[in-house]
């Protein structure tokens, strides 16, 4: 686990979004963009700034697939599990990839290089199967392309 992030940096992020209507999701996204997770230290500061309870905050963070309470691997590989990708072999490709890495969904490779997440549709349904590594999209994914990608991210 890394050292806890500086409180003043967290406060600056909260303050930058506090005046928005419905500020909580923008705050959580900004924190995760900066620290790659929602630092535990941010909890009381958010609750204080928005006048919400710890239970409410936990409820929100745990509801959404995107938010994590610990940093992910250095890269995040999302593989689409939805119907259009299944129609062209997406399921087999996902299973093969997970087996190759010895991981289940949400798992991270031992060296911390890559975290594998399921995703339900990337809007690339006419060039499926689809995947996304960090913010880069890939269409017509197959075993060979996946292997190259895994090598590139150091998995």
Residues making up the chain, counted from first to last: 155
128 touches other proteins (CB under 8 A): yes
Task: Report the site for other proteins in 89-118 (rule: CB under 8 A).
Answer: none
Size of site (CB under 8 A) for other proteins:
44
Could you tell me the CA-to-CA distances from 102 to 71, 107, 148 in Å, in that order?
20, 9, 17
66 binds other proteins (CB under 8 A): yes
Residue 129, helix vs strand vs coil: coil
86 binds other proteins (CB under 8 A): yes
Given the complex with other proteins, which of 58 and 111 has the nearer CB atom? 58
- The label of the residue with tokens 């949400």 reads 106
Query: What distance in Å separates the CA atoms of residue 2 and residue 8, rounded to the nearest whole number?
Result: 17
Sole window of 7-15, 60-68, 94-102, 107-115 interacting with other proteins (rule: CB under 8 A): 60-68
Q: Distance between alpha carbon 77 and the CA centroid of its chain, in Å?
A: 9
Binding site for other proteins (CB under 8 A): 20-26, 28-29, 50, 56, 59-60, 63-67, 78, 82-88, 119-128, 130, 132, 135-140
């Amino acid at each position: 686990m890394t050292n806890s992030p500086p409180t003043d940096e967290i406060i600056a992020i909260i303050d930058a979004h506090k005046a928005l209507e419905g500020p909580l999701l923008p705050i959580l996204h900004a924190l995760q963009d900066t620290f790659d997770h929602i630092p535990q230290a941010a909890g009381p500061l958010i609750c204080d700034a928005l006048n919400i309870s710890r239970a409410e905050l936990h409820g929100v963070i745990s509801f959404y697939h995107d938010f994590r309470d610990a940093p992910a691997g250095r890269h995040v590989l999302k593989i689409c599990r939805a119907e259009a990708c299944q129609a062209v072999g997406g399921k087999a490709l996902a299973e093969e990839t997970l087996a190759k890495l010895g991981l289940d969904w949400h798992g991270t490779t031992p060296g911390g290089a890559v975290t594998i997440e399921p995703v339900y549709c990337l809007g690339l349904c006419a060039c499926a199967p689809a995947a996304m590594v960090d913010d880069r999209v890939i269409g017509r994914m197959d075993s060979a392309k996946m292997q190259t990608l895994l090598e590139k991210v150091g998995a």
